Amino acid sequence: MEILYQDDSLVAVNKPAGLLVHRSAIDRHEIRYAMQIVRDRLGRRVYPVHRLDKPTSGILVFALDADTARRMTELFSGGGVDVDKTYLAVVRGYADETGIIDYALEEQLDRITDANAQRDKPAQPAVTCYRRLGIAELPFAVGRYPTARYSLLRVSPKTGRKHQIRRHMKHIFHPVVGDTSHGDGRHNNFFRSHFGCHRLLLCATGLAFTHPDTGERLRLEAPLDDSFRRIVDNLGWADVLNKVPESGHLHKPIYDPHT
């Protein structure tokens, strides 16, 4: 994994799609985890501070000590006030140019890992903003329409509910392509057969937060991996990404305190 940023307290990596953040009872057969890979690469213990779904690629931050982990976890779980997240997503259909999805989500509990969790909690507030960057129409009948239409979105979740973006996009009838839990199987199959794409087309490309030690605003950006970039190119959106800024998210040089 590419290291996007590193200092004495934090390390940020570009997680590939299909990789778990850490060991989970849900995927007992998995033997590789992002946390283990980063730990082995740095030769020291690392602590996860936020979630990134297994099929989602992009920016993943780890703390390098327990105290920083505690403060970062509080930061990320504090309602998103001080954390700005940006994702790129390919969705089915022509989405509106801009939109705000304010739709409460019931907590999704896993039978194994959430066995002791409260089962009757009310739906939690959830807000997602998006902006359409590009549209594409392909001359293939996928489902009941003679052509297949897609949108490239820049998505900014303002809360941090489980699978929030994927569930919110399904709610407005623009599911993320490649989503096997909340998506459209016909379009997922089309992308597999036509493009050889077997992944969820959702990537955490931008992240900004206040550094717990310096108090400065840290802005990170992750490039798209080859599989996602190939879809962007095939749908004619390469120039779109080059023209639209990442809402202030800039590359930061890797700082290695040992050099």
- pLDDT (tens digit per residue) in 64-82: 999 999 999 999 987 656 8
| Structural domains in the chain plus CATH codes | 2-243 (3.30.2350.10)
53 is catalytic: yes
Q: Which of 117, 229, 224, 228 is nearest to 178 (CA)?
A: 228
Percent of the chain with pLDDT over 90: 76
Q: Which of 40, 53, 84, 213 is labelled catalytic? A: 53
User: Could you read off the pLDDT of 166-214 as tens digits, one per residue?
Assistant: 999 999 999 999 999 999 999 999 999 999 999 999 999 999 999 999 9
Q: Pick the more confident residue, 40 or 241.
A: 40
For 41-66, b where at least 16 C-beta lie within 10 A, e where not — what string? eeeeebbbbbebbbbbbbbbbbbbee
